[in-house]
């Protein structure tokens, strides 16, 4: 059966088969995580699922997109992600690199992660210009979620003592991402239930990868943590609220009167929300740190 003959990505009247199947798979993997000592990744996976699910539910039912909500959602998430990667992943990469002979090994991992994230995002954007039978925006978000889950699982498998704060901050962007994606799908007459796939994506790859045997060598772990830091720093920078002409936020502002003045005002909110997101992670770390 052709992909456009079933409600996979582009039928607004029926539920997405792939989306519902992803939820079933996540539930099955959750049972495996409980018995396989991957409880931290399990919690992170379900927080990511609920965050994107609630965001998509709100976005699919919203008749008007508030630029303030959009800016603060993206700003809080990106600030939290930048700070988490810098606090928990970069020091680990450098420390493990030092144990392996030089901290530059961790730096290599960070550079590779940033470049890989940028390259994947840039080349993947070409898919949006290709005529296909499925929604490319949903497919791109799903690919991002699956790859993020894979990295989160490997990081927690490499360093089981890591706390939940890192993973929870990393997936904090799922809420605003789900909201924006659902609004876009509704405008195009497509079903937001397709977003169940990227919502479950972190768990679909994160739980299995967290249970894989990972070589416990400083060199390998330095590269793994560096690469993860680079990837998540790229994602965080990509989610920084963009209040420039032609951006998603600019498109929302164009629906309001005095859109230019509103865009200028939102720049202050963009900076403030990012600072608050970063401060929340630091405050949480101070509270939970031994």
Instruction: State mean pLDDT over 234-244.
Output: 83
- Average pLDDT over the chain reads 82
Query: Each residue of 46-64: pLDDT tens digit?
Result: 999 999 999 888 877 766 6
Tokens of 231: 């990837």
**N-term to C-term CA, the chain:** 56
Q: Over pLDDT 90: what percentage of the chain?
A: 33
Task: List pLDDT tens digits, range 163-178.
Answer: 888 888 888 888 888 8
Does residue 94 surpass a pLDDT of 70? yes
Are the CB atoms for 59 and 234 separated by under 8 Å?
Answer: no
b/e 216-236 (16+ beta carbons within 10 angstroms → b):
eebebbbbbbbbbbbbbbbbb
Q: What is the pLDDT of residue 266?
A: 84
- Give pLDDT, residue 6: 40
What tens digit of pLDDT does each residue of 177-229 get?
888 788 778 777 777 888 899 999 999 999 999 988 877 788 989 999 999 99
Instruction: Check residue 128 and give its pLDDT.
Output: 56
Q: In the 8-state DSSP scheme, what is residue 211? A: T
Angstrom distance (rounded) from CA 172 to CA 8: 26
DSSP characters for 69-111? HHHHHHHHHHHHHHHHIIIIIHHHHHHHHHHHT-THHHHHHHH
Q: What are phi and psi of 65, to 5 degrees?
A: -95, 120
83 versus 62: which is more confidently predicted?
83
State how far the Cα of 116 lies from the Cα of 107, in Å rounded to an integer.
Answer: 14
Instruction: Tell which wins on pLDDT, 215 or 4.
Output: 215
Distance between CA 45 and CA 209 in Å, rounded?
Answer: 12
The pLDDT tens digits of the residues spanning 97-152 come to 999 999 999 999 999 999 998 888 777 666 555 555 556 767 778 888 888 899 99
Distances (CA, A) of 219 to 92, 93, 155, 264: 12, 9, 14, 47
pLDDT at 7: 41
Put residue 7 in one of left, alpha, beta given phi > 0 → left and psi -120 to 50 → alpha: beta
DSSP reduced 3-state for 183: helix
pLDDT of residue 204: 95
């Amino acid at each position: 059966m052709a992909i456009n003959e079933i409600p996979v990505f582009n039928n607004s009247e029926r539920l997405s088969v792939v989306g519902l199947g992803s939820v079933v798979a996540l539930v099955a993997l959750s049972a495996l995580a409980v018995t396989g000592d991957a409880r931290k990744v399990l919690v992170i996976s379900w927080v990511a699922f609920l965050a994107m699910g609630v965001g998509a539910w709100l976005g699919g039912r919203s008749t008007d997109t508030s630029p303030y909500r959009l800016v603060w959602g993206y700003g809080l998430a990106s600030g939290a992600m930048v700070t988490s990667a810098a606090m928990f992943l970069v020091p680990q990469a450098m420390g493990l690199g030092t144990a392996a002979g030089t901290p530059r090994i961790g730096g290599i991992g960070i550079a590779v992660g940033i470049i890989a994230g940028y390259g994947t995002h840039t080349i993947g954007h070409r898919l949006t210009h290709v005529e296909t039978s499925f929604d490319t925006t949903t497919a791109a978000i799903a690919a991002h979620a699956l790859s993020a889950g894979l990295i989160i699982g490997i990081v927690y498998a490499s360093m089981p003592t890591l706390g939940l704060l890192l993973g929870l901050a990393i997936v904090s962007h799922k809420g605003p991402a789900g909201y924006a994606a659902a609004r876009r799908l509704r405008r195009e007459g497509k079903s937001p239930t397709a977003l169940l796939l990227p919502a479950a994506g972190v768990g679909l790859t994160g739980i299995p990868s967290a249970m894989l045997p990972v070589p416990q060598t400083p060199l390998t772990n330095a590269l793994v943590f560096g690469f993860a830091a680079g990837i998540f720093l790229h994602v965080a920078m990509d989610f920084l609220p963009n209040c420039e002409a032609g951006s998603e936020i600019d498109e929302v502002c164009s629906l309001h009167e005095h859109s230019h003045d509103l865009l200028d005002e939102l720049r202050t909110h963009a900076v403030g929300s990012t600072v608050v997101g970063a401060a929340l992670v630091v405050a949480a770390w101070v509270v939970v740190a031994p």
